[in-house]
Chains A and B, each alone.
Chain A
């Protein structure tokens, strides 16, 4: 079984549009949407949810006013500035338990907190693992790990060989969770100075975790100088460029119709380029 994560560093460069099209082009893959706090893949793959599970993140401290003697020790010990006037601020509480175990009168409860839900679904293109973090909650990294575990389970049950992971933007905790034990990563970049800056940080992250990198340039015709500098940079660093996708308004039209662009308009310029990129990607991964 192979696992590949589609990432970008910078948000909004077309990760999900690429992932959706690859889902349609692959031979019965397993799909995993790991952008759990701004997930979009379901909007073009229309999953039929078969199973829902609650995701419990870190616990939440809660002070029992009946027992509290207002000694103030918990507030002094809390490093997250989450206790004021003998009350826990649930937004800042990181569930560390320091207040709970140090309260001299055992007035602090440590309650489970549901932070989101994970789903196992069916799509036209293959089984899908996805999730929704309750807005504002922590622990998106842990929920990403759950989505990844569910995807492996689906792959084993269905005997599938490829897991396509749609990753989150950035380089922090959810991205790191979306990269553990993957065989390769695809970085989708737009030819802008911001995009290049963020791509370089992402590629450093892939190197740090020893993940095999590859690159797709989206809207490559927006700035040909920048596209060229990405190409040169990748060549110097021996990173394969799998494809150059042109700007094509069919990509947005397909999104509005809730379909991958390669399904919505198979002969559009973006679709043709995505099919080429998929071929490159398949041989790169030796599928």
Chain B
């Protein structure tokens, strides 16, 4: 079973919930899909690591064959090719690697070669497989790196996926094809607004969901009213607690010291299992 922990708004405690859930229920695997700013490894302190590059194919123009007809540049929907006078240029960072330029070139002047945009790391922590990806600094496209970390998913057992914030393509890529989405939010107007947009994405992907309210006790009742109106169950509330915040700041999963929470995460998983069936 694949459970995504997502949020919309950043900083609501996705990674904290995902890590503590994974440790409490002894998940098989943890996949950190926030490849722009991965944090799970800070809490899980993995041992032996194996790394591999994430590559995209980008065009190489053979200027000996190129007649500067501009067909490639006119075709490219991402403005990654530029042809003016007797100069043809490729802007690698804009290339989505569709392969179209190579297909439209009448001279056979375009070939492709792999270019690294990120790295994925496969490691182990507390008997659990931990996979995380890192988009290279300066690169724009997170989705191929997310697809690469998801490609490492084991065939059986419980997999926890930690999503990036927001409601755009990284969230879609992470949630697609999973069994359940746990939305972590905070009970504030910002938390509510971003929960609303993120739940729209998850609904479109027809993945069942439940909410975890973090920092309960601050803010207002908007999140609770929204969940009631939409019929989205609130599966857990974690109070605003300075002790949890301090443990978080030091990179310590709070269930390591507040052990009474382990049973609650185990119950949470049991509830999710009934909702998936």
Contact = CB atoms under 8 A, between A and B. Distances in A.
B208 interface: no
A170 B146 CA distance: 14
Contact of B99 (A98, A135, A194, A197): A98
A191 interface: yes
A204 interface: yes
Contacts of A133: 167-168
Interface residues of A, number: 63
Interface in B144-185: 164-172, 176
A248 to B, nearest CB: 12
Could you say which of B169, B194, B246 has the most chain A C-beta atoms within 10 Å of its C-beta? B169
A102 B104 CA distance: 9
Contact of A97 (B15, B100, B170, B193): B100
B189 A255 contact: yes
B197 interface: yes
Contacts of A172: 36, 135, 139-142, 170
B165 A12 contact: yes
Contacts of B1: none
Nearest to B248: A192
B167 A37 contact: yes
B168 A176 contact: no
A208 B99 contact: no
A40 B77 contact: no
A94 interface: yes
Interface string A139-161: 01100000000000000000000
Contacts of A282: none
A36 B197 CA distance: 11
Interface in B169-219: 169-172, 176, 188-190, 193-194, 197-198, 200-201, 204-205, 218-219
Could you say which of A36, A102, A173, A205 has the most chain B C-beta atoms within 10 Å of its C-beta? A173
Given A40-B9, A135-B201, A194 B96 contact: no
Contacts of A53: none
A252 interface: yes
B82 to A, nearest CB: 17
A102 B103 contact: yes
B249 interface: yes
A276 to B, nearest CB: 23
B39 A94 contact: no
A63 B174 CA distance: 26
Secondary structure type dominating chain B contacts: loop
B120 to A, nearest CB: 16
A77 B197 contact: no
Contacts of B169: 136-138, 140
A222 interface: yes
Interface string A187-220: 0001111100110010011001100000000000
B11 A38 contact: no
B12 A223 contact: no
B11 A198 contact: no
Contact of B249 (A96, A101, A223): A223
Contacts of A79: 97-99
Contact of B138 (A36, A58, A205): A205
Given A91-B176, A94-B96, A138-B168, A193 B140 contact: no
Contacts of B103: 77, 98, 101-102
A37 B190 CA distance: 12
B75 interface: yes
A171 B36 contact: yes
Given A101-B104, A252-B219, A171 B166 contact: no
B37 interface: yes
A91 B251 CA distance: 35
A168 B166 contact: yes
B220 A194 contact: no
B203 to A, nearest CB: 9
A96 B78 CA distance: 8
A194 B247 CA distance: 12
Given A101-B103, A135-B197, 8 more contacts: A10-B37, A10-B39, A133-B168, A194-B39, A197-B37, A201-B36, A201-B137, A223-B249
10 contacts: A12-B12, A38-B166, A38-B197, A135-B197, A136-B204, A170-B36, A190-B11, A190-B249, A193-B249, A255-B189
Interface of B: 8-12, 15, 34, 36-37, 39, 42, 75, 77-78, 96-100, 103-104, 135, 137-142, 164-172, 176, 188-190, 193-194, 197-198, 200-201, 204-205, 218-220, 245-246, 248-251
| 3 nearest CB pairs, A to B | A11-B10, A12-B11, A96-B98
Interface of A: 8-13, 16, 35-40, 43, 58-59, 77, 79-80, 91, 94-98, 101-102, 133, 135-138, 140-141, 168-176, 190-194, 197-198, 201, 204-205, 208-209, 222-223, 226, 249, 252, 255-256, 258
